[in-house]
Structure 1
Amino acid sequence: MRFSVEGVWKRVSALDKKLMSSSAGLPPSRLDRGMKRLSRAANHSVLWFVVAAILATGKGPFRRGAMRGLAAIAGASASANLVGKSLFPRRRPAADLLAVARRLSRHPTSSSFPSGHSASAAAFATAVAMESPRAGVVIAPIAAAVAYSRVHTGVHWPSDVAAGAAVGAGAALLTRRWWPLGLNEPASAYEHAELTSLQEGDGLVVVVNPYSGLGPDPSPRIAEEWPKAQIVPIEKLESLPDAKALGVAGGDGTVAAVAAIAVERDLPLVLIPSGTLNHFARDVGITGLHDTAQAVADGVGVRVDLAQVNGQWFVNTASLGGYPDMVRIREKLQKRWGKWPAAVIALARVLQRARPLEMTIDGDKHLVWLLFVGNGPYRPKGFAPTMRPRLNDGLLDVRYVRADRQFSRTRFFLGALLGALEHSRTYRHLEVASLNVEVHGAPISIATDGEVRERGRHFAFRSRAAALGIYRP
């Protein structure tokens, strides 16, 4: 039996007409007006941007779902509208198939195949469900309704919608290549047998940064959980009283500052994640105050590695090159534009103005666009390291992008776009216990844990194994 593309297409077209006739034959109802409104709301993915903004007000999987969903929409929209419609031109269903009341006021003129609305809807719903199944259960019916609305209003054939949904789901699944799903288990760490239970927070001093994150000041909740604890504002960080343990409620920059004092005083850390992203807390395995409170009551925890650069402690990452400039520009813009829009604007400006750095890395001279150093091995190995499966290796994760190759910046972006940066000759990845970097030319800034630090030419990075004790369930 010979396979015939033309024969398959005829059968698909016949089924499309049959299904379209069934939909057109539905009696008039309030559903007609609802489908038209829903279809228009999804124009240019506006509906999904609004849903993403709502999800982003939450934390953890909801916020990650919103970010992954927007990334998936970008891929799905480009694939469906720029590629699919160009390669597979197809006429839209005839307007007279439907009653006037069901038709959209503006009939699209682009190719019918595939459905861009369906692609974006499936991409967003699938991506959100990958991070948060609970949110996915709510969003999936809305996405399905958006996809059906394109048939109900007569602007797409059913096969257009099915193809668009497949493109969208594929785009969402493909985001895992650049941005793997978070680990359900906390990073491995060293055993800690010397922690003691702090009943009602007796002997605990907690440093609170009320300006971190998007939520309210966590001080009232901390005081309710540990009535005997001392709560100290971030402004008094340099004059902390004696304690049995130091606590910190804030973002990663605040956590790094308090962790440095905890290491110097040989005190365990009580971590209350209340920043925007809480990368360190997520990797350690602390999702909220309830986790920490249980560990403090039980007197259980672990020891984890920290890292230093020129004696400055950091818990997540340090970087040289464009990132410190991006942070500086973002801070100037975020009061006017908000943090995330300001970050996008800052990144665009830095990429446009970037100049390569000449530096010696462990004795070898290189021309580099950007150098990244992580506290512990990050995964994935490509452009966007997002998680640490281990905090007990005693290693630094070193990545840099070379600028001494022809078209290095273009090759860098293509490698990142295709998820194959680890195979590019412009990209280097090392895991070492220490690293020495000498910058040639004017002193440059270094950023640690998202904060821009002092300028310099010599940067000595060291991993400090089991440096910090931390309460963890």
Structure 2
Amino acid sequence: MTLVTVKPTRIDIAIANEIADHTNPELEETAEALTWGADEHVLLALAAAGWLYARNRPGEERRAANHILAVSLVTAILPHILKSAFNQIRPDRLTVRGHRRGIPFSGRARDAFPSGHAVHMGALASAAGLLPPARRRLVRTIATALSLTRIALLAHWASDVVAGFTLGIVIERMLRPWTLAKRSGEPADRRAHHD
């Protein structure tokens, strides 16, 4: 049962109208293909594979894999909970001219807020802070671009994407103290024994 109805802002509506007026099937097909990079199923599979790989790696890498898996799980579950509490119609349900220009239908009609894809990407962008600067910038650029595909597809209002991205950052930062902390009594990294 929804508790809160969220209405798009004037800026949201203006952005959606511009996209509907100026998009084309090629752009929409490209955005639709790219948006899979932020899908929860893809990200959970990658996080689980990384977690399995890191089981025999040094402690720091195991903690990082634990962190990414925990963040991926939370960011996969939380948007579904929030979508059951918030009611907002997707912008793709409010355009006829956009569909004539190639905009597809996305998800459930009233599940616009927040963007789950953007939640995942915000968490990824935040976790990138643990990487060296060049990789950090690359990951953050990719995360931002993948989030923007949700606006280009009119799957979400711009504010849904901003809210989702911000929520992802908050989730990742809140989990850091638990998932990245070195446990007392944790054995030294296996690699140290070989040096």
TM-score calculated relative to the size of structure 1:
0.33
Identify the residue that residue 132 of structure 1 maps to in structure 2: 131
Identify the residue that residue 39 of structure 1 maps to in structure 2: 35
| Cα displacement string for residues 400-420 of structure 1 (whole angstroms, at most 9, x for unaligned residues) | xxxxxxxxxxxxxxxxxxxxx
Please say if residues 49 and 70 of structure 1, whose CA atoms lie closer than 8 Å, have aligned partners that are also in contact: no
Identity %: 25
**AA of the residue aligned to 2:14:** K
Identify the residue that residue 50 of structure 1 maps to in structure 2: 46
Answer 1 or 2: which has greater strand percent: 1
After the TM superposition, which residues 301-450 of structure 1 pair with which residues of structure 2 at under 5 Å, given as runs? Answer: none
Matched, 1:154 2:154: yes
Q: 2: distance between equivalents of 1:49 and 1:139?
A: 18
Q: Which has the higher contact order (CA 8 A, sep 6+)?
A: 2
Identify the residue that residue 113 of structure 2 maps to in structure 1: 113
Instruction: Quickly say closer, same or farther: Cα 1:17–1:50, change in 2 above 3 A.
Output: same
Identify the residue that residue 14 of structure 1 maps to in structure 2: 10
Q: 2: distance between equivalents of 1:40 and 1:50?
A: 13
Identify the residue that residue 281 of structure 1 maps to in structure 2: 189
Instruction: Quickly say closer, same or farther: Cα 1:78–1:86, change in 2 above 3 A.
Output: same
Q: CA shift at 1:120, angstroms? A: 1.4
**AA of the residue aligned to 1:91:** I
Q: CA shift at 1:155, angstroms? A: 1.0
After the TM superposition, which residues 177-192 of structure 1 pair with which residues of structure 2 at under 5 Å, given as runs? Answer: 177-181=177-181
**AA of the residue aligned to 1:166:** T
| Cα displacement string for residues 56-104 of structure 1 (whole angstroms, at most 9, x for unaligned residues) | 757566664443122112222322221x212221111124252445423
Q: CA shift at 1:168, angstroms? A: 0.9
Larger C-alpha radius of gyration, 1 or 2? Answer: 1
Runs of 4+ in structure 1 displaced over 6 angstroms? none
Instruction: Quickly say closer, same or farther: Cα 1:142–1:49, change in 2 above 3 A.
Output: farther
Secondary structure of 1:156's counterpart equals: coil
Instruction: Quickly say closer, same or farther: Cα 1:25–1:175, change in 2 above 3 A.
Output: same
Please say if residues 32 and 149 of structure 2, whose CA atoms lie closer than 8 Å, have aligned partners that are also in contact: yes
Q: CA shift at 1:170, angstroms? A: 0.9
Q: 2: distance between equivalents of 1:100 and 1:126?
A: 37
Secondary structure of 2:173's counterpart equals: helix
Q: 2: distance between equivalents of 1:138 and 1:44?
A: 20
After the TM superposition, which residues 25-104 of structure 1 pair with which residues of structure 2 at under 5 Å, given as runs? Answer: 25-28=21-24, 30-47=26-43, 49-50=45-46, 53=49, 64-82=63-81, 84-93=82-91, 94-96=94-96, 98-100=98-100, 102-104=102-104
**AA of the residue aligned to 1:21:** N
Instruction: Quickly say closer, same or farther: Cα 1:43–1:179, change in 2 above 3 A.
Output: closer
Instruction: Quickly say closer, same or farther: Cα 1:75–1:27, change in 2 above 3 A.
Output: closer
Q: CA shift at 1:42, angstroms? A: 3.3
Q: 2: distance between equivalents of 1:87 and 1:80?
A: 10
Q: 2: distance between equivalents of 1:22 and 1:53?
A: 40
| Cα displacement string for residues 103-158 of structure 1 (whole angstroms, at most 9, x for unaligned residues) | 23x5311421111111112123322x243245433322222122111111111100
TM-score calculated relative to the size of structure 2:
0.73
Answer 1 or 2: which has greater helix percent: 2
Please say if residues 35 and 149 of structure 1, whose CA atoms lie closer than 8 Å, have aligned partners that are also in contact: yes
Q: 2: distance between equivalents of 1:281 and 1:40?
A: 36
Instruction: Quickly say closer, same or farther: Cα 1:118–1:45, change in 2 above 3 A.
Output: farther
Please say if residues 69 and 125 of structure 1, whose CA atoms lie closer than 8 Å, have aligned partners that are also in contact: no
**AA of the residue aligned to 1:155:** A
Identify the residue that residue 241 of structure 1 maps to in structure 2: none
The Cα RMSD (Å) is: 3.5
Identify the residue that residue 3 of structure 2 maps to in structure 1: none
Identify the residue that residue 296 of structure 1 maps to in structure 2: none
Please say if residues 62 and 132 of structure 1, whose CA atoms lie closer than 8 Å, have aligned partners that are also in contact: no
Q: 2: distance between equivalents of 1:170 and 1:124?
A: 11
Please say if residues 32 and 102 of structure 1, whose CA atoms lie closer than 8 Å, have aligned partners that are also in contact: yes
Q: CA shift at 1:167, angstroms? A: 1.2
Q: CA shift at 1:49, angstroms? A: 3.1
**AA of the residue aligned to 2:87:** P
Structure 1 unpaired stretches of 5+: 1-8, 188-277, 293-473
Please say if residues 47 and 68 of structure 2, whose CA atoms lie closer than 8 Å, have aligned partners that are also in contact: no
**AA of the residue aligned to 1:68:** H
| Cα displacement string for residues 197-250 of structure 1 (whole angstroms, at most 9, x for unaligned residues) | xxxxxxxxxxxxxxxxxxxxxxxxxxxxxxxxxxxxxxxxxxxxxxxxxxxxxx
Structure 2 unpaired stretches of 5+: 1-5
Q: 1: distance between equivalents of 2:132 and 2:51?
A: 13
Q: 2: distance between equivalents of 1:63 and 1:96?
A: 49
Instruction: Quickly say closer, same or farther: Cα 1:78–1:37, change in 2 above 3 A.
Output: same
**AA of the residue aligned to 1:43:** D
